[in-house]
Structure 1
Amino acid sequence: MHIQVGAEDPIKEANWVDSIASANSDWSMMQVVYCDLTDTQMPATLDLFQKLPSVVGVRQILSRAPGIESGSILLDNITSPTVLENLQELSRRQLCFDLQLIPEVMEQASFLLQKVPELKIAICHAGSPHDRTASGIKYWQHALRSISSLPNTSCKISGLGMFHHNWKTQDFKVLVETCLEQFGSKRCMFGSNFPVDSLYSDYTRLFSAIKMLVPEPFHEAVFEKTASHFYNL
């Protein structure tokens, strides 16, 4: 899976990824593209994207950790009718939605997401638990409930090193356990977040750490089946 990277030209990025997918048909490579949910012309943009066989969904960032970004156009317009209409359009087209957000806005986001019960939604990076203090983890766990309670949501166990660069395997234990407890294994999927997480570890070390923390009976779901079902691989 390729998840959009914030390229200056999302259409050009999507065409480039699709060309790689077309040249390597044995890879079963799909992609999630960027679309602006606040744009009244988003359906026309989706028409362009859906000409590419590899496109299966859309991602947008609602919020990043404090200090990284002051806000986002989506967060500023989260109650806009256009945003809801565009999410409904994704559902009608049977496209999935990847959402990156932080605990501080989860409850607000849940009010919007519950209005599109047929839309498949993946929460990126376990909801970005950026505060790793005991109180920060507790706050994230509570906020995450507002999202995990929606049956059409799934959770990506990914990007856990972004807020803890010198991590050890046990540092991720409570995060992985919380995701599995709240979403269940059939709604959790592993994501590498590479190349971003390559700043903090190599792929083998990261994969081995998450594999160690996920109970073996859940391996098939977390490392294959959930993503395969969600993205129609």
Structure 2
Amino acid sequence: MKPGDESWAIVDTHQHFQSLSDASYPWLDPERPEPLEGDLGPIRRDYLPADYRRDMEGLGVVKTVHVQNGRNPHDPVDETRWLSALARQEGMPDAIVAYADLAAPDVERKLEAHAGFPRVRGIRQILNWHDDPRLRSAPSPDLMENPQWRRGFARLAPLGLSFDLQLYWPQMDMALALARAFPGTSIVLEHFGMVGDRSPQGLSAWRAAISRLAQAPNVSVKLCGFGLGAPAWTIENTVPLLCHVLDAFGTERTMVGTNMPVDLLFGSPAKIVSTIHAIVMGLSIDERAALLRSNAEKVYRI
């Protein structure tokens, strides 16, 4: 952040903490087949507020949103409980996006338990479906159309909860239908739509899907996760993709994030923030402040 210029202050809308020394994180299990992120060895360790502050020192982050990180998934409220205690001790995260299986029979009880913690703002259930099992997180490609799952989704807005949406572009038309069926629910597209296939054909299909999804006014987007599916990413080849998303959603529905510590696998914190700065460089002061901070403060109520 430039000294004295609050318009460069950043709300990091996508970061994770983890404490492998006292909890189970199955996605970090060394016996698990190598996932989309590749070799997870470098981040298979505790990552706590002191680590985040060290990594982000001098880069202008003023608030953070923690997104569910798979701690003890058999008891998802445990992660919320742990994060809430961490926030009381450390002053961060400022908001929590928790996990719930929206198709579970007891989902209403789980959602109410999450909503009872004052920093909880939303729910994430990863919906990624791919023909390659390594890249697949959801039990089916069309979970968003499952009536039982939709009953769980319908409980979010009455509890004041948003939904963090993580999927691949072929699922975006289903997401558009979901957004239109639930116009009162705030939906936040993660990782600028998970650009996996970066062939000319793949990028063309992704761009078109992004533009269609942006038609739903209750959907906003996070520019984060720059290395997911593209571990050799550069600022030069990533900024044009982010600018397409920004053009589709506009400065009033776009936010930013770091995906720390996962994106440490693909680049430094300084590289991530430099990319964010490159996106906003041509914007007005008000537009820059909205994209970097105030949109996130509004969506996540922090």
TM-score (norm: length of structure 1): 0.93
Partner of 1:11: 77
Partner of 2:232: 166
Q: Give the conservation status (yes or no) of the 8 Å contact 1:186–1:225.
A: no
Matches of 1:166 and 1:144, distance apart in 2 = 23
Helix, strand or coil at the partner of 1:43? helix
Partner of 2:150: 84
* Change in CA separation of 1:192 and 1:219 when aligned onto 2, cut-off 3 Å: same
* Change in CA separation of 1:55 and 1:71 when aligned onto 2, cut-off 3 Å: closer
* Change in CA separation of 1:197 and 1:28 when aligned onto 2, cut-off 3 Å: closer
Partner of 2:120: 55
Corresponding residue to 1:189 among 255, 273, 284: 255
Matches of 2:216 and 2:111, distance apart in 1 = 25
1:38-49 correspondence runs (5 A) = 38-49=103-114
Gaps of 5+ in 1: none
Matches of 2:245 and 2:274, distance apart in 1 = 18
Matches of 1:47 and 1:108, distance apart in 2 = 26
Deviation at 1:110, TM superposition (A): 1.8
Is 1:21 paired with 2:90?
A: no
Helix, strand or coil at the partner of 2:176? helix
Amino acid paired to 2:67: I
Matches of 2:149 and 2:138, distance apart in 1 = 13
> Quick check: which has more Rg, 1 or 2?
2
Is 1:222 paired with 2:287?
A: no
Matches of 1:173 and 1:70, distance apart in 2 = 26
What's the Cα RMSD here? 1.7
Corresponding residue to 1:34 among 89, 96, 99: 99
* CA deviation vs aligned residue, 1:30-78 (integer Å, no higher than 9, x gap): 1100011111321101121122111111001111555333451364533
Q: Give the conservation status (yes or no) of the 8 Å contact 2:239–2:275.
A: no
Q: Give the conservation status (yes or no) of the 8 Å contact 2:97–2:121.
A: yes
Helix, strand or coil at the partner of 2:155? helix
Q: Give the conservation status (yes or no) of the 8 Å contact 1:154–1:188.
A: yes
Amino acid paired to 2:271: R
Is 1:212 paired with 2:281?
A: no
Q: Give the conservation status (yes or no) of the 8 Å contact 1:189–1:223.
A: yes
1:66-215 correspondence runs (5 A) = 66-67=131-132, 68-70=134-136, 72-73=138-139, 75-214=141-280, 215=282
Amino acid paired to 1:179: V
Helix, strand or coil at the partner of 1:166? coil
Of stretches 145-154 and 56-65 in structure 1, the one that deviates more from structure 2 is: 56-65
Q: Give the conservation status (yes or no) of the 8 Å contact 1:21–1:30.
A: no
Matches of 1:109 and 1:153, distance apart in 2 = 9
Matches of 1:52 and 1:192, distance apart in 2 = 24
Q: Give the conservation status (yes or no) of the 8 Å contact 2:255–2:296.
A: yes
Matches of 1:75 and 1:6, distance apart in 2 = 21
Matches of 1:70 and 1:209, distance apart in 2 = 28
Of stretches 166-175 and 89-98 in structure 1, the one that deviates more from structure 2 is: 166-175
Q: Give the conservation status (yes or no) of the 8 Å contact 1:189–1:227.
A: yes
> Share of identical aligned residues, percent?
28
* Change in CA separation of 1:130 and 1:145 when aligned onto 2, cut-off 3 Å: same
Q: Give the conservation status (yes or no) of the 8 Å contact 1:58–1:95.
A: yes
Of stretches 48-57 and 183-192 in structure 1, the one that deviates more from structure 2 is: 48-57
Deviation at 1:174, TM superposition (A): 1.9
Corresponding residue to 1:2 among 66, 91, 116: 66
Deviation at 1:216, TM superposition (A): 3.4
Matches of 2:165 and 2:278, distance apart in 1 = 26
Of stretches 38-47 and 177-186 in structure 1, the one that deviates more from structure 2 is: 38-47
* CA deviation vs aligned residue, 1:69-120 (integer Å, no higher than 9, x gap): 3451364533222222222210111111101000011112222221100101
Of stretches 7-16 and 73-82 in structure 1, the one that deviates more from structure 2 is: 73-82
Amino acid paired to 1:183: F
